Structure 1
């Protein structure tokens, strides 16, 4: 049976229940609860020190939690040694054996499990073809590019048909063009094989473009776990609102009846189950209004001023100082930005759509 003939698997169900892990006085995981559906690709995303790598190491068996359970298809695997878990991990640093060929690296785990030589060779060849390296089996790691080495590492992880695939920032050592190509390949393989995958990254673009859902962590806790679209458009906490993408915080005033006045416009307030510290629909008071750069419309002439521009292909980002001193960012079509050079006086208005609020905080700019 070839790799592509392998019956489609639904993947394993994974649950993290009350995981806690401390290193001295430093708390890495603070009661982490998380569910991963069978066959899902879940990204763990957050700032340095948020606990995402510790969580992955607990899943792999390299760290033992102080408390909590890791349930794989209902079985708690915390007591199971790393080498006996039905999991596989791909590391940032490739971790290939330099004295082994690509094929022998892929087949290494099979050799440790006493699989016959002929079957090992066939399996390695199939997997190298699957990851786009057919004909490279006799090359040593130093004869391969970084992207090719990471493909070998991925093939090696898949060789044992694990129920759970763990990816520890596997693309961070690669250049930008190779990263884009390889993340598309990883996603294609993950979907094709139906394997449950947990992917740690510090790169928001990778997380939002690859994952079915993204778990945003902060201080060892889960801030929000949702689809990329929901995270971006409906952040559940102030931290997520500022961490995912770019968010402007503009002073406004809640005027009651679920409306807020901001930048000369009156807009409806979107209340997310009181998850953000939002003034209630019937409340009033000073607030910060959360506005994405693409939600601001900029026209020449007015009391705001452009202070900088940056080119982003079809769009350009303008940095603008509002009359009250608030610094905001606005994304406009590049052709429209040609006349909005630094020093140009402009008007800034929000698009007519619901907005999120954060109550009574000092005015800031873009996060």
Structure 2
């Protein structure tokens, strides 16, 4: 869903973001194919996350958008203009890196104002805008500090303010939180989302962290082998994955043997369920989320491990045929479901996915 917000930062014009269209991007490195005909649309003011395993092409795609890589084929249209031939420093884009990339000999305020100085903006205006942006990212009063005097989270806020100083049409974030500890990551990702919404800036965010992508983005583009598997809202990716890869990559998924009758139903763990998406016949692998499994005390399966997750407890269970599954149950009802306990497992009545619908083994 596209979000357009008209609240602005001090001295910032109302912006609704730029429209981004990626068409047929292909990039190879020798025999390795990093991007294989990538097509994507990003709406004005939208935050799109690129997510996928290492080597899927997400960082290469971001570098092409920034102008640091030139594609072998394809176009990148920013408000209808193909920016592939445009040099990186003239694209009206800004990038925030994982490593912060602050100048160690400059103060926080001078780091923020660096791009403005390169554009010959007057000193008084540079200082005023740097102060406003430091206040925007929660660093008012830190402008005279050098990078070594700031924490990792504060340095990343300075890097973000520096990127925003040039008022880019497109903001690019390259795993900007991966070098931070968990608590700071959580705080800063909320801050980045708040700023992105306030400024209405179109943003493309590369991350390997699923929780980060699903909690921050309007939509998530899942990539695999240089291709787009699915681009959808976090809810749709989780509940209605388009391919077996997406189903098993997003969140936790169990594979349980079942038998499909070709009538749109599959029998698994003694229960007949409707099939979501393309079906099959004969022996199949059924994909079931941990919360889709109902566990009760007594039976022929056995709990092998438990993990407390607050309101839920995650159980690792070995079924009678030797299949291991993961189930999430309410913690208040898990007192008897300890390691070694005999249990029964059955799927809840909801549509099931078949692993074989896209050729998965």
Aligned to 1:338: 335
Aligned CA-pair RMSD:
1.6
Note the alpha carbon deviations across 1:47-90, whole angstroms, 9 max, x for none.
00000000000000000001111110111100000011100000
Query: CA distance change for structure 1 residues 130 and 363 in 2, over 3 Å: closer, same or farther?
Result: closer
Residue 97 of structure 2 aligns with which residue? 91
Shift of residue 267, structure 1, vs aligned partner: 1.4
Q: Which residue of 1 aligns with 2:295?
A: 298
Conservation of the 8 A alpha-carbon contact between 2:244 and 2:358: no
Normalising by structure 2, we get a TM-score of 0.95
Determine helix, strand or coil for the equivalent of 2:321: coil
- Structure 1 counterpart of 2:170, from 164, 169, 172: 164
| Greater mean deviation of Cα atoms: 19-28 or 7-16 | 7-16
2:295 is the counterpart of 1:289: no
Other structure's SS at 1:341 match: coil
Q: What are the Cα deviations for residues 302-358 of structure 1, in whole angstroms up to 9, with x where unaligned?
A: 011111111212111100011111110000112322321111110001111111113
The answer as to whether partners of 2:259 and 2:268 remain within 8 angstroms in 1 is yes
Residue number among 187, 193, 210 corresponding to 2:199 in the alignment = 193
Structure 1: how far apart are the matches of 2:13 and 2:128? 18
Aligned equivalents of 2:222, 2:251: Cα separation in 1 = 13
Residue of structure 2 equivalent to 1:179: 185
Structure 1 residues 346 and 189: CA distance shift in structure 2, 3 A: same
Deviation (angstroms), 1:5: 4.7
Q: Could you tell me how far apart the structure 1 residues matched to 2:321 and 2:68 are?
A: 52
Aligned partner of 1:69 in structure 2 is 75
Distance (whole Å) between structure 2 residues aligned to residue 338 and residue 226 of structure 1: 38
SS at match of 1:148: helix
Contact 2:116 2:166 survives alignment (8 Å): yes
Pairing 1:111-260 to 2, within 5 Å after superposition: 111-260=117-266
* Structure 2 SS opposite 1:18: strand
Q: Is the 8 A contact 1:43 1:214 kept in 2?
A: yes
The 1:237–1:360 alpha-carbon spacing in structure 2 relative to 1, beyond 3 Å, is closer
Return the alpha-carbon distance in structure 2 between the equivalents of residues 360 and 69 of structure 1.
32
* Length, aligned pairs only: 354
| 1:359 matched to 2:361 | no
Structure 1, residues 273-324: CA drift from partner, whole Å, max 9, x if none?
A: x4xxx32xxxx32221111001111001001111111121211110001111
User: What SS does structure 2 have at the residue aligned with 1:94?
Assistant: coil
Alignment CA distance shift 1:332-1:59 (3 Å): same
Structure 2 unpaired stretches of 5+: 1-7
Measured after TM superposition, the shift of residue 361 of structure 1 is 11
How far residue 106 of structure 1 moved from its aligned partner, in angstroms, is 0.2
TM-score norm. by structure 1 comes to: 0.94
Q: Distance in 2 between matches of 1:187 and 1:131?
A: 11
Cα–Cα, structure 1 residues 259 and 233, in superposed 2: closer, same or farther, change >3 Å?
Answer: same
Whole-angstrom distance in 2 between the partners of 1:44 and 1:37: 15
The unaligned stretches of length 5 or more in structure 1 are none
**Contact 1:286-1:360 within 8 A present in 2 as well:** no
